Structure 1
Amino acid sequence: MNSTSIPNELNALLKGENVQVQLSVPQLVEKVLTREEGSLTSTGAVRATTGKYTGRSPKDKYIVEEDSVKSKIDWVSNQPISEEIFSNLYTKVLEYLKVQEEVFVFKGFAGADKKYRLPIQVINEFAWHNLFAHQLFIRPNDEELLDHQSQFTVISAPNFKANPAVDGTKSETFIIISFEKRVVLIGGTEYAGEMKKSIFSIMNYLLPEQNIFSMHCSANVGREGDVALFFGLSGTGKTTLSADANRRLIGDDEHGWSPNGVFNIEGGCYAKCINLTREKEPQIYDAISFGAVLENVVLNHESRVADYDDNSLTENTRAAYPLQSISNIVDPSVAGHPNTVVFLTADAFGVLPPISKLTKEQAMYHFLSGFTSKLAGTERGITSPEATFSTCFGSPFLPLPATVYAEMLGKKIDEHNSQVFLVNTGWTGGEYGVGSRMKLAYTRAMVQAALEGELMNVESVTDPIFGLEIPLHVAGVPDEVLQPNKTWADQAAYELKAKELATKFRENFKKFTNVPVDIEEKGGPTA
């Protein structure tokens, strides 16, 4: 396959009479309903279900092993696939889409900073997927649309299923990125999040080439212009904690940190909404209005009211909506350099402190470690919290070696004197199944104290096992909650579990062979 064959084949598809380009939100909602892809909720949102794939399929994600990129990609964390397999599947998918009754195309951008943004187009078999893309990515104005020239294309055909014996995949599902052809090919899964995370993976390759630190984090800004970042995997609280009525939201999931400051990669939010209430998360709750997309949320048959407590389809229920659905946002989604960086972890062991202040070495160590617990539903097969290490709090989306991103973080901390905190939104008083999840009100109080500088000189104690600096007092939080050992009824059991986790940290860190020695010695567990 020569270097021009894919664009030519793609152009042939895009010129088809069945192609609907840049439909408005009302038009897409109408298409969803007339095509019976979903239903309308009581608030005007579209609700769709995704069948058996209710989360990402990381084992079915590949990067094409092409000459221009194969020496740069971290093949320990990313799966290679041959150019031949990609070419054959690509041709099959395009031929499949050509004979569909309708195909939907969205043109937009990834990256709110116009200096670094990537023009993209998303081609969908489903109208509701195109609505999702419209709400999640950055929408062009009329003038930008006239000059829009896509530099990357996402093609999603959920009903096209691969035959592993013939097509060379592991299953019927495939998510393939070709950096040379500038195409993402998705098939066999209806889970809309694959489109979002594929673009993120692409930006995690392209941005560092421009000396921009790409980050899996949410971000907001205070009244004084102070910027905060929240790193963490799905379900650790990035979206919830960044949606603060007293701070303006920059974005809830993906950002770049350039020489000018922080910018959002996306134009919308993709929030978990299991157990969602207006009382706990009013911004998210109220954003689920006309044009928003609800994924796998159960509705009352008659009233069409969403039951956010019902997890019968999955724990990983989702809401997709544009940033403009939230009142206090930064528009455009660009701000200054971060004053505070928060690492979020959901510790199923129940032994990490709910908040601790990190030295630079500890920040580098915990960023590289990326410890958390995979929460139910975010990936296929995960039914209860599972302790895991996801490098840089986003290993599935990082094409380059982890040290590339970690070194960029270290430089940014030095350049801008950013303060870094580790916040445990997981379990307290015992491990999962014994203890309870940390109260959101406590976490909010601790994060607020960190953002307002109240923890800079507060009295603290050093955790004897993890070496972390724990504040002894935080307004609005009982003192005993701050020290994990004081929340356990059985002290011996606590110490045993804490040392078990410390050992897991050390074992995991052995995979990093080219990290400065002082990061491991000064950043990791001390006992």
Structure 2
Amino acid sequence: MRDSRPEYHSSYSLENHGLSNLNDIYWNLNTPALYEQIIRRGEGIITHLGPIMVRTGHHTGRSANDKFIVQEPTTEKDIRWGKINRPLAPDKFEQLQRHIEWHLQTQDVYVQDCFVGASPRHRLPIRIITQYAWHNLFARNMFLQATAEELLNHVPEFTVINAPRFHASPTLDGTNSETFIIINFAKKLVLIGGTSYAGEIKKSIFTIMNYLMPHKEVLPMHCAANMNTAGETALFFGLSGTGKTTLSADSSKTLIGDDEHGWDEEGIFNFEGGCYAKLINLSPEAEPEIYETTRRFGSILENVSVNAHNRRVDLMDASVTENTRGSYPISHVPNATRTGLGSHPQNVIFLSADAFGVLPPLAKLTRAQAMYHFLSGYTAKVAGTEKGVTEPQPNFSTCYGAPFMPMHPQRYAELLGKKLKEHQAEIWLINTGWIGGPYGVGHRIKIAYTRAMVNAVLDGKLKDVPSEQEPFFGLQVPKHCPGVPAEILNTRNTWANKADYDAQAKKLAHMFAENFKQYADQATPEILAAGPSV
């Protein structure tokens, strides 16, 4: 067995996970060294200007039905058990762990010691053990890299073992399929198998942070964050495909992070050290900052089509999946802060890709409406983000991140409400979806218009603009916005048949009301009254 562990590495060894008899253990390889391993092993190819292109096989998105949390005494009462947080018995986890360890005895393994959480007070040391070299590069991109000095005393609080070639037996192991993502809070260990989709690594760590942070009175958030030239911070909540990454990566703003953050007593801090952007139909005109990362050494391009002769990528080609992805260190974005820190936010934006074509492109929310929409978390599932989703579907995902929230949504909502009240942030709803009709009839709002709305919000250009109340959801819609045609601000005016819009709006309002019944017993009368009229 050859161990490439540097001399400065901590004495904490893989023997704790029964992995001491491996053929080769590669510790904390840097990006060029991981490139060499990826090419040597045939895991990917180098494309024009240097990014690595990889294929994830059958799984081109998250396997939402294959995620479990071990049901054990230390966390059992805190977890909201159900379809999202499925319980797994401790003995089943122990059995799977043993089988994975046996499976890896003859495999090369790559180890990356890093951190999650840019706040010095709340950062968490983690260890990512992967069967594929490119997954280790993904971890190096996405999490906060440890310095040589930090590696001397790096003792991981949580460890992820990712073995995509190992497949579970549902009958024996208690899983839903051969694929599994299992978090054991008592053992501080995550097991992933049967899938090569790298997003499972990232989201398992996010789920862990979503459990740990509320115990410290820190709000974990599925949101992007940036700062304007005055140093004012804005948050962008939203699920995949709603525009978090696109709208936060603006050359006129300083990017803090594109997906996962914490809000503590000092301000905002990024959980990650990189970005994981959707690449389908990415253009240099509409999204120049992200586009440039697809031409940089160190970036990983998942399931992107590549010309075999000149190695140039085709970001418009969805023949493999709609969910093409790019992973890159945040340092690839020239206007990103290296600290990962920001002030308390002045503006909070909820993003929704409304497939019904009902919600206005821009609206201001009261604090009660903000709580209602945060708990609702309405958007559309975007094609490819999850297995089996081939076109946008209406979706309510509480806290704009239900698949990653172990606790009851009310816990996160209480923390958000407390933060909003304490720091007097203004709250906005921006629809990046369809107007002029539903999906298939209308058209998606131009990115240029959405950017103009965001800039108007962040630059304070809407403070004295008159507004009108939208009748179905009670939202205050500005009558005009710099850089945006006034006629699209009132969504009803964009429909050819106003009666069809009214019917569609009533349908969506009813869906909101039905979904919110699950929170009605814990919501205040003010929040309940902030919902749509049905």
Q: TM-score range by the shorter chain?
A: over 0.9
Alpha-carbon distance in structure 1 between the residues aligned to 2:101 and 2:16: 7
The alpha-carbon deviation at position 11 of structure 1 amounts to 4.7
Residue 508 (structure 1) aligns with? 515
The alpha-carbon deviation at position 431 of structure 1 amounts to 0.3
Mapping for residues 57-68 of structure 1, pairs under 5 Å: 57-68=63-74
Is the partner of 2:200 in helix, strand or coil?
A: helix
Q: How many residues get paired?
A: 521
The alpha-carbon deviation at position 517 of structure 1 amounts to 3.1
In structure 2, list runs of 5 or more residues that go unmatched.
1-11
Alpha-carbon distance in structure 2 between the residues aligned to 1:230 and 1:14: 44
Mapping for residues 193-342 of structure 1, pairs under 5 Å: 193-288=199-294, 289-342=296-349
Residue 127 (structure 2) aligns with? 121
Alpha-carbon distance in structure 2 between the residues aligned to 1:523 and 1:456: 22
The alpha-carbon deviation at position 215 of structure 1 amounts to 0.1
1:396 aligns with 2:406: no
Alpha-carbon distance in structure 1 between the residues aligned to 2:463 and 2:508: 27
Mapping for residues 74-223 of structure 1, pairs under 5 Å: 74-76=80-82, 77-100=84-107, 102-223=108-229
Is the partner of 2:138 in helix, strand or coil?
A: helix
Alpha-carbon distance in structure 2 between the residues aligned to 1:208 and 1:387: 29
The alpha-carbon deviation at position 487 of structure 1 amounts to 0.1
Residue 468 (structure 1) aligns with? 475
Alpha-carbon distance in structure 2 between the residues aligned to 1:519 and 1:403: 15
Structure 2 vs 1, CA of residues 126 and 414 (structure 1 numbering), >3 Å: closer, same or farther?
same
AA of the residue aligned to 2:69: I
Alpha-carbon distance in structure 2 between the residues aligned to 1:110 and 1:135: 12
Alpha-carbon distance in structure 2 between the residues aligned to 1:261 and 1:514: 31
| Aligned partner (choices 337, 345, 352) of residue 345 of structure 1 | 352
| Aligned partner (choices 483, 486, 495) of residue 488 of structure 1 | 495
Alpha-carbon distance in structure 2 between the residues aligned to 1:313 and 1:344: 27
Q: Deviations over 1:342-400 (max 9, x none)?
A: 00000000010001000000000000000000000000000000001000000000000
Decide whether the 8 Å contact of 1:300 with 1:306 is kept in 2: yes
AA of the residue aligned to 2:61: G
Alpha-carbon distance in structure 2 between the residues aligned to 1:454 and 1:98: 61
Residue 405 (structure 1) aligns with? 412
Alpha-carbon distance in structure 2 between the residues aligned to 1:113 and 1:431: 42
AA of the residue aligned to 2:105: K
Alpha-carbon distance in structure 2 between the residues aligned to 1:8 and 1:105: 9
Decide whether the 8 Å contact of 1:366 with 1:523 is kept in 2: no
Decide whether the 8 Å contact of 2:158 with 2:188 is kept in 1: yes
Alpha-carbon distance in structure 2 between the residues aligned to 1:369 and 1:478: 29
Q: 260-269 or 270-279: which moved more?
A: 270-279
Is the partner of 1:207 in helix, strand or coil?
A: helix
AA of the residue aligned to 2:502: E
AA of the residue aligned to 1:235: G
Decide whether the 8 Å contact of 1:356 with 1:471 is kept in 2: yes
Aligned-pair identity (%): 52
Is the partner of 1:511 in helix, strand or coil?
A: helix
Alpha-carbon distance in structure 1 between the residues aligned to 2:473 and 2:411: 25
| Aligned partner (choices 428, 441, 452) of residue 448 of structure 2 | 441
Alpha-carbon distance in structure 1 between the residues aligned to 2:530 and 2:371: 7
Residue 522 (structure 1) aligns with? 529
Mapping for residues 406-421 of structure 1, pairs under 5 Å: 406-421=413-428
Decide whether the 8 Å contact of 1:263 with 1:334 is kept in 2: yes
Q: Deviations over 1:89-120 (max 9, x none)?
A: 011101111211x1000000000011100000
Decide whether the 8 Å contact of 2:21 with 2:105 is kept in 1: no
For the aligned residue pairs, the C-alpha RMSD in angstroms reads 1.3
Structure 2 vs 1, CA of residues 90 and 254 (structure 1 numbering), >3 Å: closer, same or farther?
same
TM-score between the two structures when normalised by the length of structure 1 = 0.97
Decide whether the 8 Å contact of 1:298 with 1:307 is kept in 2: yes
The alpha-carbon deviation at position 430 of structure 1 amounts to 0.1
Residue 54 (structure 1) aligns with? 60
The alpha-carbon deviation at position 12 of structure 1 amounts to 3.8
Is the partner of 2:134 in helix, strand or coil?
A: helix
AA of the residue aligned to 2:30: S
The alpha-carbon deviation at position 8 of structure 1 amounts to 7.8
The alpha-carbon deviation at position 329 of structure 1 amounts to 1.2
Alpha-carbon distance in structure 1 between the residues aligned to 2:14 and 2:325: 36
Residue 32 (structure 1) aligns with? 38
1:21 aligns with 2:58: no
Decide whether the 8 Å contact of 1:361 with 1:518 is kept in 2: no
Decide whether the 8 Å contact of 1:371 with 1:390 is kept in 2: yes
Alpha-carbon distance in structure 1 between the residues aligned to 2:522 and 2:448: 37
Is the partner of 1:348 in helix, strand or coil?
A: coil
AA of the residue aligned to 1:505: F
Q: Deviations over 1:280-322 (max 9, x none)?
A: 1111111231111000001001111110000000000000000
The alpha-carbon deviation at position 513 of structure 1 amounts to 3.9
Decide whether the 8 Å contact of 2:75 with 2:185 is kept in 1: yes
Residue 4 (structure 2) aligns with? none
Decide whether the 8 Å contact of 1:250 with 1:330 is kept in 2: yes
Q: Deviations over 1:221-258 (max 9, x none)?
A: 11111000000000000000000101100000000000
Is the partner of 2:386 in helix, strand or coil?
A: coil
Is the partner of 1:414 in helix, strand or coil?
A: helix
Decide whether the 8 Å contact of 1:297 with 1:313 is kept in 2: yes
TM-score between the two structures when normalised by the length of structure 2 = 0.96
Q: 506-515 or 290-299: which moved more?
A: 506-515
Alpha-carbon distance in structure 2 between the residues aligned to 1:8 and 1:239: 36
| Aligned partner (choices 383, 387, 405) of residue 394 of structure 2 | 387
Alpha-carbon distance in structure 2 between the residues aligned to 1:429 and 1:471: 18
AA of the residue aligned to 1:518: P
The alpha-carbon deviation at position 34 of structure 1 amounts to 0.8
1:355 aligns with 2:354: no
Decide whether the 8 Å contact of 1:40 with 1:46 is kept in 2: yes
